[in-house]
Amino acid sequence: MLSNTKIKQAKQRDKQYKIYDAKGLFIIVTPKGGKWWRFKYTLGEKEKTISLGTYPEVSLKQARERRDDARQGLSVGIDPSAARATATANSFEAVTHEWHTKRKHTWTPKHAEWILRRLERDIFPWLGSYPIADINAPMLLGALRRIEARGALETAHKAKNWCGAVFRYGVATGRCERDPSADLRGALPPVKSKHFASITDPKGIGQLLRAIDGYEGSFITRCALQLAPLVFVRPGELRHAEWSEINLDEAEWRIPNDKMKMKQAHIVPLSSQAVAVLRELHPLTGVGKYLFPGLRSNDRPMSENTINAALRRMGYSKEEMTGHGFRSMASTLLNEQGWNRDHIERQLAHAERDDVRGAYNYAEHLPERRKMMQSWSDYLEQLKEGAKIVNFRSG
């Protein structure tokens, strides 16, 4: 019979060897010192062996419990190897991969890969091999606590949400009965909101816009800087803008769904000021694909660092203003000015809670958004000119 002391004292040898316990349970000690649990059994006239884990991750007590479970299944004709295969198919890791395959078309390829890599790193080592139906709230919290312990609290919250989606998929496909992540509400400390650095003071905005007009670097970069506050799209959407998406006569920019974070096509009404910037830019880059091509090749968009680097060159630190900050600037002031929140959120292309509704309503509130975008550009123009704006609201 084995004991914990005997297992701990077992030393590696030149060749692996076995130490037996009882009822088919034994442990293999490898030349590198690893200790592997095995259970040997006979079904019919065939002798088989299955793995029960490694020591000390699986203790002597746990190994005996797993052996006894296997023996109980054998008593009613269940082959432990076949049961293991079924359990593997219904493991948290297997169900997660299935869920991810079904959902990844709703994300950009980069974001889909990022989600899977985080789960592989932070969740699978602790929960991946368990049948999804056997995972409870304390087990999930234990894995999330490991993420929290390294200071990645926001990632811990995201992992909880992703795991919740996997469990709900498991419920829908009959692999588990409920989502234990729902029991963890409040178990993790809240994430402190992090905002991209942005200028929202009207006087400061006017100074920034004048600095942009006076930018002495690349003309293409200056045009990108001038357009950014007028359209307030995400920096990646701006730098990947293509002339084929722009209709200057209709004053409209239609961004296809594969370029959008939420995988939904997006319409950006272009104010007269935005159209003026684009008409000035067109003679230089209009024969190519991108509005803002890179310095080394017209076949590639400008670098993701170009806008921020230009802001630094103009004297704005990363704590003061970023390329993403134009979105915060517009969101903050448009809300303060009393514009309809739904119109603002739609123009920011934030997530639509109802996926079906969102998929078919990318043009929702378009007339109102056109009015808002022109009014916003007029407001920025007055700030740039140094005018004193009093009670500027949508009415």
Which pLDDT tens digit goes with each residue over 251-265?
A: 999 999 888 877 778
**pLDDT attached to residue 75:** 87
**pLDDT attached to residue 40:** 94
If asked whether residues 214 and 255 sit together in one domain, one would say: yes
46 flagged as catalytic = no
If asked whether residues 132 and 171 sit together in one domain, one would say: yes
Average pLDDT on 351-362 reads: 46
If asked whether residues 214 and 302 sit together in one domain, one would say: yes
Could you tell me the pLDDT band of residue 357, with boundaries at 50, 70 and 90?
A: very low
Share of the chain above pLDDT 90, in %: 66
Paired strand residues for 389? none
If asked whether residues 42 and 96 sit together in one domain, one would say: no
Give residues with Cβ within 8 angstroms of 392, minimum separation 6: 337, 379
If asked whether residues 233 and 376 sit together in one domain, one would say: yes
Contact assessment for residue 100 and residue 116, using Cβ atoms and an 8 Å cutoff: yes
Q: Please check whether residue 312 lies inside any domain of the structure.
A: yes
Evaluate if residue 216 carries a pLDDT over 60.
yes
Catalytic residue chosen out of the listed positions 324, 343, 369, 384: 324
CATH code, 31: 3.30.160.390
Q: Please check whether residue 329 lies inside any domain of the structure.
A: yes
Element (H, E) at 373: helix 366-384
Catalytic residue chosen out of the listed positions 18, 279, 318, 360: 360
Q: What would the two tokens of residue 140 be?
A: 């999930």
Catalytic residue chosen out of the listed positions 158, 327, 369, 384: 327
Evaluate if residue 391 carries a pLDDT over 50.
no
Could you tell me the pLDDT band of residue 195, with boundaries at 50, 70 and 90?
A: low
Could you tell me the pLDDT band of residue 3, with boundaries at 50, 70 and 90?
A: very high
Which of 120, 150, 184 delimits the end of a domain? Answer: 184
Q: Please check whether residue 197 lies inside any domain of the structure.
A: no
What are the tens digits of pLDDT across the range 65-121? 989 988 988 888 888 887 776 667 889 999 999 999 998 887 778 888 889 999 998
Q: Please check whether residue 389 lies inside any domain of the structure.
A: no
**pLDDT attached to residue 390:** 46
Residue 15, SS3 per DSSP: coil
Catalytic residue chosen out of the listed positions 103, 289, 350, 371: 350
DSSP 20-74: E-STTEEEEE-TTS-EEEEEEEEETTEEEEEEEEEETTS-HHHHHHHHHHHHHHH
CATH code, 298: 1.10.443.10
If asked whether residues 158 and 102 sit together in one domain, one would say: yes
**pLDDT attached to residue 329:** 94
If asked whether residues 207 and 343 sit together in one domain, one would say: yes
Q: What angle do CA 381, 387, 388 make, to 5 degrees?
A: 125
118 flagged as catalytic = no
Distance in angstroms between the alpha carbons of the first and the last residue of the chain: 84
Which of 51, 77, 103 delimits the end of a domain? Answer: 77
If asked whether residues 157 and 237 sit together in one domain, one would say: no
What is the rounded CA–CA span in Å between residue 65 and residue 227?
A: 66
Could you tell me the pLDDT band of residue 174, with boundaries at 50, 70 and 90?
A: very high
Look at the pTM and tell me if it is higher than 0.85: no
185 flagged as catalytic = no
Which of 77, 109, 128 delimits the end of a domain? Answer: 77
Paired strand residues for 20? 26
Q: Which residue has the higher pLDDT, 377 or 364?
A: 377
Q: Please check whether residue 83 lies inside any domain of the structure.
A: no
Q: Please check whether residue 86 lies inside any domain of the structure.
A: no
327 flagged as catalytic = yes
Q: Please check whether residue 196 lies inside any domain of the structure.
A: no
Evaluate if residue 395 carries a pLDDT over 80.
no
What is the rounded CA–CA span in Å between residue 55 and residue 233?
A: 53
In this structure, the number of other CB atoms found within 10 A of the CB of residue 214 comes to 9
Catalytic residue chosen out of the listed positions 35, 234, 343, 369: 234
If asked whether residues 68 and 129 sit together in one domain, one would say: no
Number of domains in the chain: 3
Compute the mean pLDDT over every residue in the chain, rounded to the nearest whole number: 88
If asked whether residues 52 and 122 sit together in one domain, one would say: no
Q: Please check whether residue 306 lies inside any domain of the structure.
A: yes
Evaluate if residue 355 carries a pLDDT over 70.
no
234 flagged as catalytic = yes
Three-state SS string over 245-277 comes to HEECCCCEEEECHHHCCCCCCEEEECCHHHHHH
Q: Where are the alpha helices (DSSP H) in 76-201?
A: 80-89, 92-103, 109-122, 124-127, 137-149, 153-172
**pLDDT attached to residue 268:** 96
What are the tens digits of pLDDT across the range 293-343? 998 888 899 998 999 999 999 999 988 999 999 999 999 999 999 999 889
Catalytic residue chosen out of the listed positions 146, 261, 300, 370: 261
Which structural domain, as residue segments, surrounds residue 137?
A: 92-184
**pLDDT attached to residue 147:** 92
**pLDDT attached to residue 130:** 86
Could you tell me the pLDDT band of residue 244, with boundaries at 50, 70 and 90?
A: very high
If asked whether residues 279 and 338 sit together in one domain, one would say: yes
CATH code, 107: 1.10.150.130
Contact assessment for residue 9 and residue 30, using Cβ atoms and an 8 Å cutoff: no
Contact assessment for residue 259 and residue 205, using Cβ atoms and an 8 Å cutoff: no
If asked whether residues 161 and 222 sit together in one domain, one would say: no
What are the tens digits of pLDDT across the range 123-153? 998 888 888 998 999 999 999 999 999 888 8
Of 363, 330, 372, 374, which Cα lies nearest the Cα of 348? 330
Average pLDDT on 358-387 reads: 84
